């Protein structure tokens, strides 16, 4: 099937809801563009799944977004960026359309981390799948070989967000637990990357228990500014992104449930989602 070549929205893909925090940051930075968000909520979470399964699910989603007119797709999912991005870029894009692009969200933070740490000791708080992939370690080491990276999996943080328990006293134990473990593993850490798109919703709790000298680094701002820079450096791609300031939402699960949950991640405004099948 031939892919459409006319200008289309920027695709934003995530296994679930967390990518909405990335979309929110991108849209604040680049409000003129159109966006098409796709959440594979029916098959989330991706974190515990194998590389091959995450790749296949992500490949299906990217291909769907391409068929719906996207010329550029952002994998607003750390697990998909870690386990599927490189294979899609190297194997699938040349077969589908060599002029289209798929970008991840790990590299933008890795690029700027060198300017955000003085001690050269950096922590990464993320899901188990992202930590095990060592994607942040590898990207940071390639760009900043002198930086020591310590990762800490925080398996209970995503459920706290999705069950709207971010402000509850019960969240204190689990937020403090993993921060304490991270700082015990390397007391010299002075910058901590939030390597999961859900974690910005826990920012108030994280600030409460993180040592004051440690800089907390959510991804959204850096992904957004990196995308703005990318579009400026690639005017050919910029011309292929439509500009009506509109956002559409797709989910593989129940649209009503998606719209309700999305309010936790996007704040004010009514979100209307449509159901889509990927398998």
Give catalytic residues, as residue numbers.
77, 196
- Give strand pairing partners of 241: 8
Please state, in angstroms and rounded to a whole number, the distance separating the CA atoms of residues 79 and 253: 19
Q: What is the DSSP letter of 241?
A: B
Please state, in angstroms and rounded to a whole number, the distance separating the CA atoms of residues 41 and 44: 5
Token pair belonging to 130: 């992202």
Q: Which residues of 191-224 are buried (b: 16+ CB within 10 A; e: fewer)?
A: bbbbbbbbbbbbeebbeeebeeebbbbbbbbbbb
DSSP, collapsed to helix, strand or coil, labels residue 46 as: coil
Please state, in angstroms and rounded to a whole number, the distance separating the CA atoms of residues 25 and 275: 24
Q: Which of 124, 101, 115 is nearest to 143 (CA)?
A: 115
Distance of CA 83 to the CA centre of its chain: 13
CB 227 within 8 A of CB 233: no
> Among positive and negative, which fits the CA dihedral 92, 94, 97, 102?
positive
Q: What would the 3-class secondary structure string for 11-42 be?
A: EEEECCCCHHHHHHHHHHHCCCCCEEEEECHH
CB 27 within 8 A of CB 246: no
């Amino acid at each position: 099937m031939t892919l459409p070549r006319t200008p289309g929205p920027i695709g934003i893909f995530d296994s679930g809801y967390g990518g909405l925090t990335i979309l929110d940051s991108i849209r604040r930075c680049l409000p003129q563009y159109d966006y098409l968000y796709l959440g594979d909520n029916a098959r989330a979470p991706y974190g515990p799944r194998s590389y091959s399964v995450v790749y296949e699910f992500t490949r299906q989603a990217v291909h769907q977004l391409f068929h719906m007119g996207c010329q550029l797709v952002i994998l607003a999912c750390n697990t998909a960026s870690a386990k599927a991005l490189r294979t899609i870029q190297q194997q699938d894009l040349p077969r589908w359309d060599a002029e289209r692009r798929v970008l991840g969200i790990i590299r933008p933070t890795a690029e700027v981390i060198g300017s955000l740490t003085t001690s050269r000791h950096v922590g990464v708080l993320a899901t188990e799948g992202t930590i095990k992939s060592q994607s942040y370690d590898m990207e940071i080491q390639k760009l900043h070989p002198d930086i020591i990276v310590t990762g800490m999996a925080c398996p209970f943080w995503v459920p706290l967000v999705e069950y709207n328990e971010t402000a509850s006293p019960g969240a204190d134990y689990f937020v403090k637990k993993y921060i304490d473990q991270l700082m015990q593993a390397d007391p010299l850490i002075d910058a901590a990357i939030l390597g999961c798109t859900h974690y910005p919703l826990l920012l108030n709790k994280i600030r409460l228990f993180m040592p004051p000298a440690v800089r907390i680094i959510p991804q959204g701002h850096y992904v957004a500014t990196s995308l703005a820079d990318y579009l400026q450096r690639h005017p050919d791609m910029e011309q292929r992104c439509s500009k009506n300031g509109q956002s559409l939402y797709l989910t593989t699960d129940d649209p009503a449930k998606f719209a309700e949950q999305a309010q936790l991640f996007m704040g004010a405004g009514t979100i209307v989602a449509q159901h889509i099948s990927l398998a």
